[in-house]
Chain A
Amino acid sequence: MSPSPCPDLIAALRAPQGMTGLLPGQWDRLIPQARAAGVLGRLGVLARPFAADLPRPAWHALEAGVAMAERQAVAVRYELAQLDAALADVGAPVIVLKGAAYVAAGLDAGGGRMMSDIDLLVPKAALGEVEAALMLAGWASQSRDAYDQRYYRQWMHEIPPMEHLRRGTVLDLHHNLLPETGRIRTLPEAFIDAAVPLPGRRCLHVPCLPDMILHSAAHLMHEGEWGHGLRDLNDLYALIPAQATDEFWTELSKRAHLLGLTHPLYLALVQLQRVFSLHSPLVPALPGPRNAWLDALITQAVFGVLPQGRNALTPFAELALYVRSHWLRMPVHLLLPHLFYKACKRPAND
């Protein structure tokens, strides 16, 4: 494997105290990399205990990242309170996913985490009622396009993004872990059953820790959002306990089998090993195909967010993974007409 394009960034995320020994020239590369990867706030939170030992301009940049992330955490908690009130009477459990869940659950992984929207998952049977309650509370669908509506509702695992009319916050409402038409069948019921109620909230839950890790891995490996790849991989690194016990790995493996997410878990653990040198006993044990090419492509795409991480192979890796994510998302007889429609259609309002 080629050497990491950002050794200082990875080292800082793994062992924050090492940041006190960095030279100004190293900071000069590290700060733009952290900014590009969307982990500036995260790095700032990790650096805070040693702030006094860091060069002033570097700490000021990190502190700015912390300020942005903390402002966002306040906003997310406020939105979640609004959502809890709006959805409590529906009577269905509402599961907060990804970044908002790390913040709401007060997990270490939530410290300094930046996000662009809030992801929720509800039982498919309650989807209509939840959507109606959200509309009453001021959330409206961003897409008025009939094709998009059908694409999301019939084939995907989420409905088109909703936006709050006054606050402008964006909400992704899921009813499954992965697309309905996808090659992997998942079990959202088991995911919902194992979710933990958030203290002080009437209907909001967060996934149990193994499920949080599994959903994060599935999202990273299936959604093709490589612009956040390094940040999301770091989420996984932060979610897995530093001194993970055998019981932890056994439970994680058990949940992966139950939810049908062993393959994305395997792919994510391989990346954690390649990028963060985090070794998991599950890597040799998980079932499913091994593909060293795929692993290499994913590493390429994870680093592709950094200018130093891009090379002649990056566009190829990104294209290959884009095709793969669509391949996984729907069978060919649905995929080809969909891509044809998207290619021929003019952007609605551009």
Chain B
Amino acid sequence: MNLGELDLPEVQYRLRIGLGVQTGPFCFHIKSQQPRVARELHRLYADFPVGDFDFYDFHVRLDRPMNLRRWWHPQVLFWLDAYSPFKPLPADHDFAQLEWGMNWCIAGHAHHYLMLHAAVLEKNGQAVILPGDPGAGKSTLTALLALSGWRLLSDEIALIDRDDGLIVPLARPISLKNASIDVVRTAFPEACIGEAARDTYKGTVAHLKPPADSVMRMHDKARPAHIVFPRWQQGAGTRSETHTKADAFMHVATHAFNYSLLGETGFRLTSDLLDRCTCRNLDYSRQEEARAFFDGLVT
């Protein structure tokens, strides 16, 4: 059963006792009494399988802490089991905090995978990895490609399976920040974007619902074929050059969540990945040209 088949009161009720949600290889058991969390999950996770699973990778909870701040400028706190890794946030950042918390669970624990800080999309059986420098426009580009026929695997965390070197999808919502929310809304007026959380430490944040087809295929791994380092620059013409593999290796390794933790395995997986991929830069300012570049890459 998918989450969208439940009505909102049912989602709210289930979240109170704990709702099982499957995102790619991970099963989350989510508890929350925050109405917005129920609303946003109902809207953005509509295509994800839910149910009572036997085993959960992560038991998470997002609720108001038991103190005076329950009533005065309410705050929310994120828990993994009985452990709370973050400081409390204003209550209206609750859904954003849940998304960050879930990312933290994966990035901090799922060392069965090599985890790169990168977005991944796939078309024609070829996965493209977009390593993320903050401000490079990675999330915007990811959203635009996902909304124009590319399959979304991940927006933040590229999971490389240590057994076969393939990329494992997560297909979770894409986190859009500040100006990129309007960019995506203008380009795709029908896109489903959640409620914006304002004045977070990343600015204004809103999440884009992942395409239903990407969610449906969350168990299909993809073959890594290209690594593209995008850079958005006001008024820049579209230009792409080959990136040296040595440089790409260093960039990918230093931006990985667990490259050094995995030691030799991390080195082997990264070099295998680089061997399988072409590496390019992409400077751009016009979305249509950028999309055409990516389509050209996989034909």
Contact = CB atoms under 8 A, between A and B. Distances in A.
Interface stretch (A56-64, A163-171, A184-192, A260-268): A56-64
Contacts of B111: 63-64, 67-68
A27 B59 CA distance: 13
Contacts of B265: 67
Interface stretch (B50-58, B69-77, B85-93, B225-233): B50-58
B54 A23 contact: yes
Interface stretch (A28-36, A235-243, A290-298): A28-36
B268 to A, nearest CB: 13
B262 interface: yes
B49 to A, nearest CB: 15
Contacts of A307: 81-82
Chain B interface size, as a band, is: 20 to 34
A67 B261 contact: yes
Nearest to B112: A60
Given A28-B56, A55-B55, A60-B112, A67 B262 contact: yes
Contacts of B55: 24-25, 27-28, 55, 57-58
A102 to B, nearest CB: 20
Interface string B29-48: 00000000000000000000
B54 A25 contact: yes
Interface string A142-158: 00000000000000000
B110 A71 contact: no
Contacts, number: 48
B201 interface: no
Contact of B261 (A24, A36, A68): A68
Nearest to B58: A32
Contacts of A70: 263
A70 B260 CA distance: 11
| Interface SS majority for chain A | helix
Interface residues of A, number: 21
B67 to A, nearest CB: 17
B81 A35 contact: yes
A74 interface: yes
Contacts of A28: 54-56
Nearest to B55: A24
Interface in A36-66: 36, 55, 57-58, 60-61, 63-64
Contacts of A71: 260-263
B142 to A, nearest CB: 26
B181 to A, nearest CB: 34
Contacts of A67: 111, 258, 261-262, 265
B57 A57 contact: yes
Contacts of B81: 32, 35-36, 307
Interface string B243-273: 0000000000000001011110100000000
9 contacts: A23-B54, A58-B55, A60-B57, A64-B111, A67-B111, A68-B111, A74-B263, A307-B81, A307-B82
Given A58-B55, A64-B111, A67-B111, 18 more contacts: A23-B54, A25-B54, A28-B54, A32-B59, A32-B81, A36-B81, A57-B57, A60-B25, A60-B57, A60-B110, A60-B112, A61-B109, A64-B112, A67-B258, A68-B111, A70-B263, A71-B262, A71-B263
Q: Which 6 pairs show the lowest CB-CB distances between chains A and B?
A: A24-B54, A64-B111, A60-B112, A24-B55, A67-B111, A307-B82
Interface of A: 23-25, 27-28, 32, 35-36, 55, 57-58, 60-61, 63-64, 67-68, 70-71, 74, 307
